[in-house]
Structures are given as structure tokens and as C-alpha cells.
Amino acid sequence: MPNAIFRSTNVEPRTISDRTVSGALLPCTAVSIGATQLTQATAVSATNLALLGPRDFYGLSTASTEVLKTPYVSGETGIAYKLRPDDLVVWAMAAGTYTYGQELTVAASGRLAAAAATNIVVAFYDQAGATLSAGDLADVCVANFYTKA
């Protein structure tokens, strides 16, 4: 399933694949890279942030997004994408209404949500405006992290 999460075409993704997941984590959500584990990130802090990849070693599914909605099992080896500014990726979103170019930050369950003043912006909404339910997937462009004024 090429480009299921990492959509940039001009570079190869940098992946972390030597750590286990700390729980039933969903692909397309933010994780913190620890010494031995990937744990769910619920905010941006002094964490080494990455985007959890799919369990693609389980094979292709019949629906293109089914594998992106299947959680890892605690203790499994996870695959995470180390992000760079301008990377185009698919990320799970918090419930809300989003507009093209909107600033986004990491929120509950590793999903992206609209950034408010003093939040650290990690990405920009990169598709037509829409009202999304919690967990819906959306295209985003990774930002060079900064604090929103």
C-alpha cells in the first residue's frame, strides 16, 4: 500500500522500526520515541515526536484505509515516521471543522486539532475544508514546529 501515510514523493521517509508500542495504538497518530518503546503523544513537549505507521507487515486489506484503522497490539514492533518540515502525510484528526492551511497541534489520542494561541504548531491542514469526526484521516503538511502567537 504505497503512500498510505507518507505522501511525499521527493524523499524517502525516515522510519523507526526497532521499538515496541506501549499499548493498542492506532496508525496515523502521534507517538513519542523512547529508548525502547513508542508511546502515545497527547501534546507536543520535549518529546521526540513521530507519526505511527501502518501494520503493513500484516498484508494488504481490501479497503485502502482499513489497515490504517487497525490498532497495534501492545508489545508489537511498531513502525513510525520521523517527520521533516514539508513532509506530506495522513494524520488522524480530532473532531472539528477545518479549513485549508489551518494550523494544527497534537491533541488527545495523538490526533491533530486546531492550534490555539501558545500551542506548538506541528502541521497545516492540506485538503479542502471539512467537518471531521474524531479519528477521521486527513492530508496534512508538516510544519517547522513553532509556537502560535
The 10s digit of each residue's pLDDT in 35-76 is: 999 999 998 876 799 999 987 665 555 555 577 888 999 999
The 10s digit of each residue's pLDDT in 68-120 is: 888 999 999 999 999 999 999 999 999 999 999 999 999 999 999 999 999 99
**Dihedral angle at the C-alpha atoms of 30, 106, 88, 93, nearest 10 degrees?**
90
Question: What is the distance between the alpha carbons of residues 129 and 137, in angstroms, rounded to a whole number?
Answer: 13
Contact 86, 122 (CB under 8 A): no
What is the pTM assigned to this prediction?
0.90
| The three cell numbers locating residue 83 | 517527520
